[in-house]
A and B are shown apart, each in its own frame.
Chain A
């Protein structure tokens, strides 16, 4: 029953978004019919454009999962952006600098390094929270700035391509690039990996004692303590899992799409992850749906801007409004709950 209502909610929001979109398109002086047909053609017009949805959606699934896991367990990780960069940087360091290893172990090692780097990066915030009681929201945001600029330094120093003066690393060897799944498109192995990780995260959170402990700690740390469940253990675990997933998003973006490390290559995937998690009501199983819907909107908006002259920022405005309405809804229902608790 709950799952159905969450799905219904998403559909309702899509309808509302369409309505608001019409108004915005009219306001920007274009014909809604043209704009929408361009928008839809941008998404479904060709195999290539449709596959772009999955390309853009893949990192969002992972950062969305990262945030969903964190929010579900009471660790308010707003640092997926920084963890994304740290993951990518670690993967780059392994994949580019460990060329003495054969390709397969090198790629696996790069994934592991990316997960660890993201996980450890968010563990800093968990440590500050547990030891000094500092809000993880503040610390993870600050760590974003550090991570982003750390990558800036890295691509100018130890990870810089010696053969070019540009602030970027050398290109990943073709053999180490994640293979594409369909000829003529950019959709790659990262997408099924992201889906598999979604299933794994759902299993951990819902079906294992690990996930149970994390949920208890997140929902009611006091009850966890009274029952003898380690609060620190739960927080550390959710920080590492969450940060690690965001790190993997960076790894995949590096190894499948960008193929080199450079500044600003996340395109705000980490921050968008917060939004994806909210859209999916923090349920891992709904994260891919929310991420793909979001990615499709982005792909369609880009086409609309190209061909109908409607600014693609319109989509960002709409999504911002949707998220605010979700938060308001959650707030309202918690107020009602309070009122009923007499």
Chain B
């Protein structure tokens, strides 16, 4: 009998089904992958299991008994643990404190020594090495994830849910994680692995359930299938995203950064240290690296969001831009597609037309003497929506608030605004994050089109496949500096992975 079975689960938001008659069955001692594109309903399904949402219909059977969890506390008490994509740890507390936080069996007077010993035993048993007395804020992302897993295991669970656990890990850390999962499986735990990465499933999961558009399209044994077939199931069709074919040799230098460092207030070590980079015309320079290694600071120093505590010089073509404000850089041909579109790029409460104006609202034809010309704005919005195939919410057209658009359509609004004929150089940071396959293909094609038009692109991405598919050259960031720059033809997953983990100096490891 299955440890968990979810039958006929449905839930809708605003009349749109996020899960529609979904079935899922998980056995004890198996790693079960939940595969699907962004927005396919994987996380929603798990949030229902974990008591965060309540299903509108369907049944959950847990350990043979009908169950319904109305809160995560109940789910945890029943033996289900979940590690969310965004960690819920308290940075200012130690690892031990975080693990004990909310531990229900703890007596009022905490026997810290005894519990500390138990935590150490647990971490030994599953190879989850972490110092219980370290401050969580000082840990790497991989270590934080281990703390989250330990925290879940400490509560006597039978099922562990991991939501996109590898999105933030280096290839090395990913291998370690899967070793841990194998151990858990041997000890009889069930693991649900939410992912959209095919490569992780084949070697590591026993079975896989594929979701598409909120519906369950099949459950397969990984042994009986292959990556190609799964990918077709997940997307619903064959799709090969555009790639850089290496045509159009790079031209003259466009963006030149010389010894640029970005300092943080109150800290001695800079977030970005002595970066010297050149991006040429007709060139896509990929910046690979685990997130948080200075990529955001790099982007913001280039486009001028950070000007204070920035050293070094930045040129665009022959124009020195060091210290100039954002708008001046925009006017001289700099465009920016930020990684966090909802916070950095869009005013989600405003409509499409207004969001397209964020740079040019004070220029003709959109306004004259500070008064808006609605006709011009409307026309501009309609043109952009046609060019970029932006699908608005309902019949509102250009008047629909951006918050009602899907992630892909939101990103298209950003692209439509940033990629103008005047934009000569584009900084694109995680441009396809959270997008579905067709929107991803669209964004990639747009970036390649810019290269063909002779523009320069700095592509920052944590997705190595994306970096390899689009870049002419690849710079790897580690710990705030450039660990190395490779030509596309010299780059592989393996050597990039090593450089991302800070092993650039060890040549023998690469060879």
Residue of A nearest to B359 (CB): A227
Interface 1/0 per residue, B291-331 and A, CB below 8 Å: 00000000000011100000000000000000001111010
Q: Which residues of chain B have C-beta atoms less than 8 A from A228's C-beta? A: 304, 325-328, 330, 359
Contact segment of A203-211, A270-278, A312-320: A203-211
Complex contact A216–B372 (CB within 8 A): no
A339 touches B13 (CB 8 A): yes
Binary contact track B354-387/A, C-beta < 8 Å → 1, others 0: 1001110110000100111000000000000000
Q: Which of A8-26 contact B (CB under 8 A)?
A: none
Q: Are the C-beta atoms of A222 and B372 separated by less than 8 Å?
A: no
Query: Which B residues lie at the A interface, using CB under 8 A?
Result: 13-14, 18, 39, 41, 43-44, 47, 53, 303-305, 325-328, 330, 336, 338, 343-350, 354, 357-359, 361-362, 367, 370-372, 403
Residues in B whose Cβ lies below 8 Å from that of A219: 347-350
Q: Is A267 on the interface with B (CB-CB < 8 A)?
A: no
Q: List 11 A-B contacts (CB under 8 A).
A: A209-B362, A209-B372, A210-B370, A216-B347, A226-B303, A226-B326, A226-B338, A226-B344, A226-B345, A228-B326, A228-B359
The answer for the CA separation of A208 and B336 in the assembled complex, in Å, is: 25
A312 CB, nearest partner CB in chain B, Å: 38
Closest A residue, CB atoms, query B44: A342
B367: contacting residue among A209, A216, A220, A229, CB under 8 A:
A209
User: Which chain A residue has the least Cβ–Cβ distance from B325?
Assistant: A228
Distance between B46 CB and nearest chain A CB, rounded to angstroms: 10
**A225 CB-CB contact with B under 8 Å:** yes
Is chain A's binding surface mostly helix, strand, loop or mixed? helix
Q: Which of A212, A222, A223, A340 contacts B361 (CB 8 A)?
A: A212
Apart from A208-B370, A228-B328, what 19 extra A-B contacts exist at CB < 8 Å? A208-B371, A209-B367, A209-B372, A210-B370, A212-B361, A213-B361, A219-B347, A219-B349, A223-B344, A226-B336, A226-B344, A227-B326, A227-B359, A228-B326, A228-B327, A229-B358, A340-B13, A342-B13, A342-B43
Contacts of A227 in B (CB 8 A): 326-327, 330, 358-359
Partner of B354, one of A208, A212, A225, A339: A212
Bound Cα distance from A216 to B43, whole angstroms:
32
Residue numbers in B under 8 Å from A3 (CB-CB): none
7 tightest Cβ-Cβ pairs between the two chains A and B: A228-B326, A228-B327, A340-B13, A227-B358, A220-B347, A209-B370, A226-B344
> Which residues does chain A contribute within 8 Å of B367, judged by CB atoms?
208-209
Q: Kindly state whether residue A260 has any CB partner on chain B within 8 Å.
A: no
Which B residues are CB-close (under 8 A) to A220? 343, 346-349
- Shortest C-beta distance, B304 to chain A (Å), equals 7
A96-133 interface bits toward B, Cβ cutoff 8 Å, 1 = contact, 0 = none: 00000000000000000000000000000000000000
Minimal beta-carbon separation of A108 from chain B (angstroms): 24
Count chain A CB atoms within 10 A of each CB in B14, B41, B358, B403 and give the residue with the most.
B358
Q: How far is the CB of A241 from chain B (nearest CB, A)?
A: 14
In whole angstroms, what is the CA distance A197 to B345 when docked? 33
For residue B18, which residues in chain A have a CB less than 8 angstroms away from its CB? 342
Q: Per-position contact with B for A224-260: 1 when CB-CB < 8 Å, else 0?
A: 0111110000000000000000000000000000000
Question: Would you give the shortest CB distance from A283 to chain B, in whole angstroms?
Answer: 13
- How distant is the Cα of A220 from the Cα of B94 in the complex, in angstroms? 34
A207 to B43, CA, bound (A): 42
Nearest CB in chain A: distance from B366 CB, A? 8
Cα-based distance from A339 to B403 in the complex (angstroms): 13
What chain B residues lie within 8 Å of A215 (beta carbons)? Answer: 347, 350
**Shortest CB–CB separation between residue B461 and chain A, in angstroms?**
19
Report the Cα distance A213→B325, complex, angstroms.
17
**A209-B367, A228-B304 in contact; A223/B326 too (CB < 8 A)?**
no
The chain A residue sitting closest to B303, CB to CB, is A226
**CA of A219 to CA of B358, assembled, Å:** 13
The interface centre, meaning the residue of B41, B305, B328 with most chain A CB atoms within 10 A of its CB, is B305
Query: How many angstroms between the C-alpha atoms of A336 and B348 in the bound complex?
Result: 16
- In the complex formed, the residue of B with least CB distance to A223 is B347
Which residues of A182-207 have CB atoms within 8 Å of chain B's CB atoms? 207
**Cβ contacts under 8 Å, B53 to chain A:** 339
Contacts of B359 in A (CB 8 A): 227-228
Question: Is the beta-carbon distance between B358 and A342 smaller than 8 angstroms?
Answer: no
B330 contacts across to A, CB distance below 8 A? 227-228
B14 and A340 contacting across the interface, CB-CB below 8 Å: yes
Question: CB distance A342 to B47 under 8 Å?
Answer: yes
Complex interface: chain A residues within 8 A of B346 (CB): 220, 223
Question: Of A207, A226, A337, which one neighbours B305 at CB under 8 angstroms?
Answer: A226
Assembly CA distance A223 to B41 (angstroms): 29
Min CB distance A68 to B, Å, is 15
Measured between beta carbons, the chain B residues less than 8 angstroms from A225 are: 305, 326
* B343 shortest CB reach to chain A, Å: 5
Nearest B residue to A1, CB-CB: B396
A216 & B358 in contact (Cβ 8 Å cutoff):
yes
**Chain B nearest CB, measured from A149 CB (Å):** 38
Provide the bound-state CA to CA distance between A229 and B305, in Å. Answer: 11
Residues of A near B326 (CB, < 8 A) are 225-228
Question: Residue among B43, B44, B362, B370 with the most chain A CB within 10 A?
Answer: B370
Q: Which of A209, A210, A216, A222 contacts B343 (CB 8 A)?
A: A222
A243 to B460, CA, bound (A): 44
* Complex CA distance for A226 and B347, rounded to whole angstroms: 11
Chain B residues with CB under 8 A of A339? 13, 53
Asked if B372 and A212 make an inter-chain contact with CB atoms under 8 angstroms apart, the answer reads: yes
CB distance from B215 to the nearest CB of A (A): 15
In angstroms, Cα B53 to Cα A339, docked, is: 8
Contact residues, A31-76 vs B (CB, 8 A) = none
Chain B nearest Cβ from A331, distance in angstroms: 16
Q: Are A207 and B372 in contact (CB under 8 A)?
A: yes
Cβ 8 A contact of B403, one of A207, A213, A336, A337 = A337
Asked if B304 and A216 sit within 8 Å, CB to CB, the answer is: no
Q: Which of A208, A216, A228 has the most CB of B within 10 A?
A: A228
